[in-house]
C-alpha cells in the first residue's frame, strides 16, 4: 500500500503531526513506532499547557494515538531499519522485513539520553529526577539536589542548576575529567563535588528520590536530581540513509519555516532536529511539518489528476 505520508516515530512530534494530518481527512497516513523512546521514560511532564498537575509520557502518547486514530490515522508497531528513495516516493523496511511505501515522510525518531544502568534510576525519571533544565529546572527550586553525571557535561549541568537549588552536589559517576576552570566555578558556586559510582537510587512513594547510595556504602540524601552524562544518541540513521543534511552533532538540519529537510518530501520534527529539546517545541514542529506536508500532498495530487 502506498501511503501519502509515513510518520516514523510515535512520540510527541510524530503524534501531533498525525493528528494535524488526519484532520485534513483526505490523506492516507501511517505512523510507524518502535514503542519506546524518551517520552515513554518520563513519569510526569509539568510544563505542558492544560496539565498543571502533570501527565506521564505514556498517558500522553496513549491519548495522542487515540486522537489520531479517530481521524483515520493508521499505526504499526515496528522499527524501521532501512530507508531509500523509490521512484516518486520512498520505501522503508522494518526490523522483521516488512515493507512500507509512501509519497512523503516525516522523520520524528528523536533521541535517547545516555545513562548507566543504576537500580532505581528509571523509576524516578520525570517525577523527581530530570534530564532537561529548560523543562524541569523549576522542579528543584529551593530543594536539596543531586546532579549525577560524567565529567564536563555533569559539571555544566551542576553549574546551570546551582542558582535554583537550595544545595547541590555533583557526583561524577564515571570519574571522567573535569576542567580546572569548571572546578573553580563549582567551588565558587558552593557546589560539592564527588567522584564515586552511584550503586542505587533510593526512592519512595513510587519515584520520589531520597538519595544516592555510593560505592563506599554511604548515602547522599536529596530531594531532587538531574542526570547529565553527555553522548546522547540521536536517531538520525534513517535521515542519513536518505541523504539528509546533518548538523555536526548529528541532529537533522531542516527549514525553520516548513521543517522540510534538504531532501525533497522529507521532513523532520522533534528532538531529531536542531532546536531546544522540549516537548512543547516537538509538538509545534510536528504541527508545522504537517501543515506543509498537506500543502505538498495537495499539489502532488493536483499534478497527478491534471486539475
CA distance 264 to 113: 30
* Residue owning grid cell 511505501: 101
Do 59 and 38 share a structural domain? yes
Per-residue model confidence (pLDDT) at position 225:
98
Do 222 and 139 share a structural domain? yes
CA distance 197 to 194: 9
Per-residue model confidence (pLDDT) at position 1:
87
Do 246 and 266 share a structural domain? yes
Do 76 and 10 share a structural domain? yes
Nearest by Cα to 83 from 94, 70, 68: 94
Helix axes 151-161, 180-188, angle to 10 degrees: 20
Q: Three cell numbers at 210?
A: 531520597
Do 55 and 40 share a structural domain? yes
Do 90 and 192 share a structural domain? no
**Strand 99-107 with 2-8, pairing:** parallel
* Residue owning grid cell 549541568: 157
CA distance 48 to 109: 21
Do 102 and 128 share a structural domain? no
Do 181 and 199 share a structural domain? yes
Encode the chain (307 residues) as per-residue pLDDT tens digits.
899 999 999 999 999 999 999 999 999 999 999 999 999 999 999 999 999 999 999 999 999 999 999 999 999 999 999 999 999 999 999 999 999 999 999 999 999 999 999 999 999 999 999 999 999 999 999 999 999 999 999 999 999 999 999 999 999 999 999 999 999 999 999 999 999 999 999 999 999 999 999 999 999 999 999 999 999 999 999 999 999 999 999 999 999 999 999 999 999 999 999 977 899 999 999 999 999 999 999 999 998 887 6
Domain final position from 228, 255, 286: 228
Please count the structural domains in the chain. 2
Do 133 and 104 share a structural domain? no
Do 236 and 109 share a structural domain? yes
273 is in which domain, residue-wise? 3-113+232-306
Q: What is the pTM of this model?
A: 0.95
Domain final position from 228, 263, 296: 228
Amino acid at each position: 500500500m502506498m501511503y501519502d505520508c509515513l510518520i516514523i516515530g510515535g512520540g510527541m512530534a510524530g503524534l501531533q503531526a498525525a493528528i494535524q494530518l488526519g484532520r485534513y481527512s483526505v490523506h492516507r497516513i501511517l505512523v510507524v513506532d518502535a514503542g519506546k523512546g524518551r517520552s515513554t521514560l518520563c513519569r510526569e511532564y509539568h510544563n505542558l499547557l492544560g496539565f498543571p498537575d502533570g501527565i506521564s509520557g505514556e498517558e500522553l502518547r496513549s491519548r495522542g494515538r487515540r486522537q489520531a486514530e479517530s481521524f483515520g490515522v493508521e499505526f504499526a508497531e515496528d522499527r524501521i531499519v532501512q530507508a531509500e528513495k523509490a521512484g516518486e516516493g520512498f520505501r522503508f523496511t522494518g526490523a522483521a522485513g516488512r515493507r512500507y511505501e509512501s509519497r512523503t515522510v516525516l522523520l520524528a525518531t528523536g533521541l535517547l539520553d545516555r545513562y548507566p544502568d543504576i537500580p532505581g534510576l528509571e523509576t524516578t525519571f520525570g517525577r523527581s529526577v530530570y534530564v532537561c533544565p529548560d523543562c524541569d529546572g523549576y522542579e528543584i527550586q529551593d530543594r536539596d539536589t543531586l546532579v549525577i553525571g560524567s565529567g564536563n557535561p555533569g559539571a555544566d549541568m551542576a553549574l546551570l542548576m546551582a542558582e535554583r537549588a537550595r544545595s547541590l552536589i555533583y557526583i561524577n559517576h564515571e570519574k571522567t575529567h573535569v576542567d580546572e576552570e569548571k572546578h573553580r566555578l563549582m567551588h565558587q558556586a558552593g557546589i560539592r563535588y564527588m567522584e564515586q559510582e552511584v550503586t542505587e537510587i533510593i526512592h519512595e512513594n513510587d519515584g520520589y528520590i531520597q538519595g544516592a547510595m555510593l560505592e563506599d556504602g554511604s548515602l547522599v540524601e536529596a530531594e531532587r536530581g538531574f542526570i547529565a552524562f553527555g553522548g546522547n544518541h540521536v536517531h538520525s540513521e534513517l535521515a542519513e540513509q536518505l541523504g539528509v543534511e546533518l548538523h555536526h552533532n548529528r541532529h537533522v538540519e531542516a527549514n525553520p519555516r516548513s521543517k522540510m529537510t534538504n531532501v525533497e518530501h522529507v521532513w523532520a520534527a522533534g528532538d531529531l532536529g536542531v532546536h531546544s529539546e522540549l516537548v512543547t517545541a516537538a509538538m509545534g514542529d510536528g504541527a508545522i511539518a504537517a501543515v506543509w506536508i498537506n500543502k505538498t500532498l495537495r499539489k502532488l495530487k493536483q499534478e497527478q489528476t491534471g486539475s
